[in-house]
Structures are given as C-alpha cells and as structure tokens.
Amino acid sequence: MLDIIIDAVLDCLKLLPFLYLTYLVLEYIEERAEEGSLKLVRQSGAWGPVAGSALGIVPQCGFSASAANLFAQRLISAGTLVAVFLSTSDEMLPILISNSVKLEVIAKILAVKFMSGLAVGLAADKLLHLCRHEDERVDLHEMCEEENCHCEEHGIFLSALVHTAQIAGFVLVINLALGFLIYFIGEDKLGGLILNRPVVGPILSTLVGLIPNCAASIIITQLYLSGAMTAGAMAAGLLSASGLGLLVLFRVNRRAMGDNLKILACVFISSVVIGIGLDILGVVF
C-alpha cells in the first residue's frame, strides 16, 4: 500500500516541472504576445506532428501533459497532440535499457512509435479535421474564472504555480485511485488477459495502455520482455500509453469534451489497427 502512495507521489512530482513551465509560457503569451504571433503559431500546425512525434519519444510523460495544455489553448493542432500521445515512450525506454535489450530492437520500437505518431497525426490534421478551432483561442483567464482561483491577481510566476498545483492535485488523486485498482486486480491477471491472443491481444493491451498512469507502460514493457504478449500487442499498448496526457486533456479542455473524445477515439483505433497489422505481418522486435 505504501509503495502505491509513493509511486503516485513520484509520478506527480515528475510532472511538476513540465506543468509549471507550460503554464509559465502560457501566462507569458497571455500577457505579452500579440494576436498576429499567436495566429502564426496556430497556423504552423502542418509541421506540428513532425515535432510532436520527435519530442514524444523522449522518455518523459510530462511532454504529453504539456501538449494537452497547449492544445487546450489552441496553440497546437489536434494532429500534433495525437502525434505526441502515440509516440510518447514514457517509462518504456528506461526499462528496455535496464534489461540490456539490443540497441537495434530499441531503435525498431522507437521507429514504430515515431512513424505511427507522424502518420496518424498528419491524417488527423489533413483528413479527419478533428477539433477545428484554429480561430478560437481560449483565454487562460477564463480558466481562472471557472476554477475561482483568483490567480490573475498575482504575477505570472504565482499564477502558473496555482494552475500547476490544481492540476497536480487532480492527477495525484486519480493516480492513487488507479494504483489501488491495479494493486487489487494484479499485474499477473492483466498479463493473463493479453497473453499472445491474436486481435484480442492488441485490443486489450491498448485498453491497458490508456490507463492514465506511468505504470501502464511499465506493465506492458515487462510483459513483452517476459514473452507474455506478441510484438503487435506490445506496440498497441505502448502507442496508447501516453502517460498522464489524456488525463490532463480531459481536465483542462472540459469546454470541448467532444473534441477530447474524438482524440481518445483516434488514439485507441490507430493503436489497435497498428498492433493488429504488425501481428498479421509477423513482425518481431
């Protein structure tokens, strides 16, 4: 029980620097930037999925949380956010390295995540037309009014700190609840559900990956290394395992819940399809 609490607190602490820097930047933009420069940022979304896929493979779940905040402010496109979510490596990379996995194997897994994030992100922007709000920038101070935090009475540093504390507290509560849920279900049972089952394996693995907790990527990676799932199931779970990004998205973008659900559906469907496709092709990392 104590380990669950410690892990939830550590996950939250790792998120704090990313949240604070993100809100600090947003506060600065809100106070200083001109509308013309904001429009330029929003219109640069065509190349956003490229950068999003590249940044996502860095082993930190904080990037996905930061991207969710930027999307809620309409500063990045939906495709960029989807790209970050799919490519986010979270705790996968440190576990692979610590288990002395060959570099070429790690490179293949990262390549799949990068290319998946890039392709799906570009498709989300060009074909699916998710979240068409390029000309609807959300005022950060509207969030202050909704939260009744009175942060706009302070400077940008304290204001960013207030927003960070609010989101971090929310994440901590959810993480504790999920941690206890996983504890009572048991990692062995999760492994049994996914164990080398065609089609069903990638679907169940994707659902596990959607758990908004850094533990999801750890469970999936360890199960794959132990031979408990196929490469497709592993890829599906790691593609959907965006850390705390989805949790933060649903928290900060509550005024566009329909958009959040579309992004969630996009992440889920693409993860399942890619996972099943890899199994059909017989891919082995």
In the three-class reduction of DSSP (H, G, I as helix; E, B as strand; rest coil), residue 227 is classed as coil
pLDDT tens, 120-177? 999 998 876 654 544 444 454 555 555 454 455 556 788 778 777 877 787 688 678 7
Residue type, 151: C
| Per-residue confidence band for 35, with pLDDT thresholds at 50, 70 and 90 | very low
What is the average pLDDT across 11-20? Answer: 78
Question: Does the CA dihedral 253-259-265-267 come out positive or negative?
Answer: negative
**Pair of tokens at residue 153:** 């009475």
Structural domain spans, the chain: 2-280
What is the average pLDDT across 72-101? Answer: 84
What is the average pLDDT across 227-239? Answer: 90
State how far Cα 273 lies from the chain centre.
18
What is the average pLDDT across 13-30? Answer: 73
What DSSP designation does 128 have?
A: I
| Per-residue confidence band for 192, with pLDDT thresholds at 50, 70 and 90 | low
What is the average pLDDT across 98-116? Answer: 91
Q: Round to the nearest angstrom and report the end-to-end CA distance of the chain.
A: 35
pLDDT tens, 47-64? 788 888 888 887 665 678
